[in-house]
Copies of this chain bind each other. A is one copy, B any other.
Amino acid sequence: MDTDDLGKDRVPRKRRKMQRITMADVAKLAKVSPSTVSLYLRKPDAVSPAAGREIARAIDHLGYVPNLVAGGLAAASSRVVSIIVPSIRNAFFAETVSALQAELTSEGLQVLLGHTEYDKEQEEALVRTALSWAPAAIVLTGLSHSRDTRKLLKAGGIPVLEMWELGGDPLDMAVGFLHPRVGASAAEHLLSKRRRNLAFLGARMQEDHRAAQRAEGFEEACRKGQAASWSVINHPGAATVEAGAILLNRSLQQNPQLDGIACSNDWIALGILFECQRLGVAIPDAISVVGFGDLDFSASCIPSLTTIRPSGDLIGKEAARLILSRIRAAAPPLPAIIDTGHVLIERCSS
């Protein structure tokens, strides 16, 4: 049947985009109906071995690539998971996204990524576009979002997972840990080392509200513990090695008695290590330092860094597990809130 039945549709509306090979082409070549091809693609065992073989041959021969957009439309849900993080340049989130992605990809899900740069409005815009893709699930960072973001998400009817924070009221599922507890652990550790004049050095805490929570937990523990003095100092810029040096100098100036420092992350801690070396301040003799993150360098620097590991990797894995089970089961697998906890790793800097 290579002649047209009616002559109409003879001339394509427009030179066809690219004469994409469709499922119908495969079906024709394999001498089956399109729906059989579709079925084969989704459940190979549901079609007869003979038909399956023909279809496989046809697919291979034509170089057919299924159109997931069409599939997503027909199925009313795309095999995409939208992930929104503050920044992927941040090693913490990169680790989580990486783990999440690895797990999801292996189950045939794609990852649509967005970053907010710690801006709630940007987050809202991203959520809006994310929803436009009818994603299978959506992953956000933190529990605090704009009113409209929450509204959109609640109305969306798709699984939502919030990560890297616990303690508030999640929209749906949550995987993370309690940041105030991290700050408290740092303070308690320093106190246990007989440090009495403490400081929490953080960066960008006006925006990074999880870092601010760690600072609060730190202060709380100081208040309850035997600290003689304590303070929280914020660097408005990014949390870098350089910020660490700046913060150390400011804190030393403010309190020359300083003998214990908790940092909002390991980059800052590393900056402090270097700056102390420059200033001739002995670590941990004169000052004990505790970081946060347990980054790649933390075990290998000099002195090696005592730090608190949040396990971004585990967060990603658990998040993926929850999402997958939700997608598969439709039924929520119960109080889907997972505390991944944190671990203080004692090394030489304290």
Q: Which residues of A contact B (CB under 8 A)?
A: 17-18, 20, 63, 65-70, 72-73, 76-78, 80, 87-89, 91, 94-95, 97-98, 101-102, 105, 110-115, 126, 128-129, 131-134, 151-152, 155-157, 240-242, 244-245, 267, 270-271, 274, 277-278, 296-297, 299-302
Contacts A111-B114, A296-B240 hold; do A128 and B89 have CB atoms under 8 A apart? Answer: no
Contacts A88-B94, A296-B241 hold; do A63 and B152 have CB atoms under 8 A apart? Answer: yes
Contacts A98-B89, A296-B267 hold; do A70 and B68 have CB atoms under 8 A apart? Answer: no
Contacts A267-B297, A278-B302 hold; do A111 and B110 have CB atoms under 8 A apart? Answer: no
- When the two chains form their complex, are residues B300 and A242 in contact, meaning their CB atoms are under 8 A apart? yes
A114→B100 CA distance, assembly (Å): 11
- When the two chains form their complex, are residues A101 and B114 in contact, meaning their CB atoms are under 8 A apart? yes
Copies in the complex: 2
When distances are taken between beta carbons in the complex, the residues of chain B under 8 Å from A129 are 68, 110
- When the two chains form their complex, are residues B132 and A113 in contact, meaning their CB atoms are under 8 A apart? no
A144→B102 CA distance, assembly (Å): 22
- When the two chains form their complex, are residues B297 and A270 in contact, meaning their CB atoms are under 8 A apart? yes
- When the two chains form their complex, are residues B112 and A69 in contact, meaning their CB atoms are under 8 A apart? no
| A157 → B minimal CB distance (Å) | 4
Contacts A17-B76, A70-B73, A157-B18 hold; do A301 and B241 have CB atoms under 8 A apart? Answer: yes
Contacts A110-B112, A241-B301 hold; do A65 and B133 have CB atoms under 8 A apart? Answer: no
The 10 closest A-B pairs by CB, nearest first: A68-B132, A241-B300, A18-B157, A241-B297, A113-B113, A69-B72, A89-B94, A69-B73, A17-B76, A65-B131
The residue on B at minimum CB distance from A109 is B129
When distances are taken between beta carbons in the complex, the residues of chain B under 8 Å from A297 are 240-241, 267, 270, 297
A184→B158 CA distance, assembly (Å): 53
- When the two chains form their complex, are residues A89 and B78 in contact, meaning their CB atoms are under 8 A apart? no
Contacts A110-B129, A297-B241 hold; do A97 and B101 have CB atoms under 8 A apart? Answer: no
| A164 → B minimal CB distance (Å) | 16
- When the two chains form their complex, are residues B111 and A113 in contact, meaning their CB atoms are under 8 A apart? yes
Could you name 16 residue pairs across A and B whose Cβ atoms are closer than 8 Å?
A17-B76, A17-B77, A18-B156, A20-B76, A63-B155, A68-B129, A73-B73, A94-B94, A102-B115, A110-B129, A111-B112, A241-B296, A242-B296, A242-B300, A245-B300, A267-B296
When distances are taken between beta carbons in the complex, the residues of chain B under 8 Å from A113 are 97, 101, 111-113
When distances are taken between beta carbons in the complex, the residues of chain B under 8 Å from A132 are 65-69
A241→B296 CA distance, assembly (Å): 7
A297→B65 CA distance, assembly (Å): 44
A300→B239 CA distance, assembly (Å): 13
Given contacts A69-B69, A69-B73, A69-B133, 19 further A-B contacts (CB under 8 A): A18-B156, A63-B152, A67-B132, A70-B73, A80-B112, A88-B88, A88-B97, A89-B91, A89-B98, A91-B91, A97-B113, A111-B112, A112-B113, A240-B296, A242-B300, A267-B296, A270-B297, A271-B300, A277-B302
